[in-house]
């Protein structure tokens, strides 16, 4: 970040919870209070490793990301970071908020010796897929599987 950079990135704080919930509801159209209470509590308490961030533009909350570090989950031997959620105020898109958040996260992870960052995105969220592609993300060499339990129950009756 330079002195001319309008985006200030900092560690996410407990007092950011309401701003995170409000911003996410503005983006998604639904209020996920319990989800963010749990995620933020985990992000701020996990082994003291702080990788969740907030962004401000002109002193106003403009975006956030929640990420975690995993140590050998899902059969992987190496440490990997997972980007759970990223949100940028729709009124402040295009000024580099998401890019600044991701750049700071990458710097923090490299400092921790983490060499890989993973995330998931809905395949039809074209805007988010494009953002991740411009940021250097590529499809992972693994397949993510889901089981619709309601459909599975119906198939077995």
Tell me, what CATH number does 16's domain have?
Answer: 3.40.630.30
Per-residue model confidence (pLDDT) at position 118: 92
Residues of the domain holding 52: 7-140
Residue 155 belongs to some domain of the structure: no
Residue 91 belongs to some domain of the structure: yes
Residue 147 belongs to some domain of the structure: no
d(CA 61, CA 20): 9
Into how many domains does the chain fold?
A: 1
Per-residue model confidence (pLDDT) at position 1: 45
Residue 100 belongs to some domain of the structure: yes
Per-residue model confidence (pLDDT) at position 2: 46
- The Cβ of residue 148 has, within 10 Å, a number of other Cβ atoms equal to 9
Pairing of strands 117-118, 53-57: unpaired
Residue 150 belongs to some domain of the structure: no
Residue 35 belongs to some domain of the structure: yes
Residue 27 belongs to some domain of the structure: yes
Angle 107-112-118 (CA atoms, 0-180°, nearest 5)? Answer: 70
Per-residue model confidence (pLDDT) at position 47: 53
Residue 1 belongs to some domain of the structure: no
Per-residue pLDDT of the chain (157 residues; tens, 9 = 90+): 445 678 999 999 989 999 999 999 999 999 999 999 988 888 777 555 668 999 999 999 999 999 988 876 555 567 889 999 999 999 998 899 999 999 999 999 999 889 899 999 998 999 999 999 999 999 988 888 889 998 866 666 5
Give this prediction's pTM. 0.83
């Amino acid at each position: 970040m330079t002195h001319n950079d309008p985006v200030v990135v900092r560690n996410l704080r407990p007092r950011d919870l309401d701003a995170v919930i409000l911003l996410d509801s503005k983006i998604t159209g639904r209020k996920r209070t319990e989800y963010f209470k749990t995620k933020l509590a985990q992000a701020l308490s996990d082994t003291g490793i702080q990788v969740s961030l907030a962004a401000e533009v002109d002193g106003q909350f403009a975006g956030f990301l929640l990420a975690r570090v995993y140590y050998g989950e899902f059969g992987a031997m190496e440490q990997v970071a997972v980007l759970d959620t990223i949100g940028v105020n729709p009124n402040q898109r295009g000024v580099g908020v998401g890019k600044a958040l991701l750049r700071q996260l990458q710097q923090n992870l490299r400092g921790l010796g983490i060499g890989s960052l993973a995330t998931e995105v809905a395949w039809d969220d074209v805007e988010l897929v494009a953002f991740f592609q411009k940021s250097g993300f590529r499809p992972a060499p693994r397949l993510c599987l889901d089981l619709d339990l309601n459909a599975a129950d119906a198939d077995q009756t």
